Chains A and B, each alone.
Chain A
């Protein structure tokens, strides 16, 4: 939608990828 150009696409992409990595690293038992 029209909100996307406000975000820097590459920054956002990096944030989402790293977020996924961080969440994967958090143990489900903790």
Chain B
């Protein structure tokens, strides 16, 4: 039963519960799933699932992005292609895909392609270790982790990675959110798959 509970549906519900039930306004939550990649037992963290909520202030949607017109066109093109591949419909039939793709939306989408060797990157450092909480643009920009620096470039002000039984929960926000034990405890309850039931 514990393995059947560990599927993408319940992951999505847990991520949603975590973000929607939080007092702070988190922009997204990602579950990085651990898997063993070779005989030496080395593991890697890859995309498990993610929940994107977006910025609290919808007005920020239009102003947050600072990238060039060419970059915005590239993002829209990628989104259009993905949309037509997923829905099977013509991209032009869906006006939503032609809306500006914000920095945090793009950061979230690009995250789906990423993975981290155990011990490297923000999620990789948190795995089998302690939570990592980075608040403030300066701290993110000065981090030794590329993902943290990347997050800052895409408008994040807070990034958190909390280890769980078989992966890492990452949260990001465009707001300044300071460390609190409530969130860490919630992650431990919601994502401790070994103790299901």
Interface string of A1-30 (1 = CB under 8 A from B): 100101111111111101110111110001
Q: B84-106: contact bitstring with A at CB < 8 Å (1 yes, 0 no)?
A: 01110000001011010000010
Which of B49, B61, B99 sits near A8, CB closer than 8 Å?
A: B49
Q: Is B135 an interface residue (CB 8 A)?
A: no
Query: Total number of A-B contacts with CB less than 8 angstroms?
Result: 55
Contact flags B46-75 to A (C-beta < 8 A → 1, else 0):
010111101000110100000000000000
User: In the complex, A7 Cα to B105 Cα: how many Å?
Assistant: 14
Q: Is B130 close to A, CB under 8 A?
A: no
Q: Report how far A26 CA is from B61 CA in the complex, Å.
A: 10
What class of interface size applies to chain B in its complex with A? 20 to 34
Q: Are A10 and B8 in contact (CB under 8 A)?
A: yes
Once bound together, how far apart are the Cα atoms of A4 and B188, in whole Å?
32
Q: Does B81 contact A (CB under 8 A)?
A: yes
Partner of B50, one of A15, A22, A30: A15
Q: Which of A4, A9, A15, A30 contacts B109 (CB 8 A)?
A: A15
* Interchain CB contact (< 8 A) of B105 among A13, A19, A26: A19
B83 in the interface (beta carbon within 8 A) = yes
Contacts of B82 in A (CB 8 A): 4, 7, 12, 16
- Choice from B52, B81, B87, B113 contacting A18 with Cβ under 8 Å: B52
Assuming A11-B112, A15-B50, A15-B109, is B96 touching A30 (CB within 8 A)?
Answer: no
A25 to B53, CA, bound (A): 13
Q: Per-residue CB proximity of B1-41 to A under 8 Å, as 1/0?
A: 00000001000100000000000000000000000000000
Instruction: Assess whether A7 is in contact with B113, with CB atoms less than 8 Å apart.
Output: yes
**B94 near A15: Cβ-Cβ < 8 Å:** no
CA distance A8 to B48 in the complex (A): 8
Q: Does B116 contact A (CB under 8 A)?
A: no
Known A-B contacts A7-B113, A19-B96, A23-B96; the reply to A13 vs B86 at CB < 8 A is: yes
Would you list the 9 A-B pairs with minimal beta carbon distance, nearest first? A20-B96, A6-B113, A7-B112, A23-B96, A13-B86, A26-B58, A23-B99, A4-B85, A11-B49
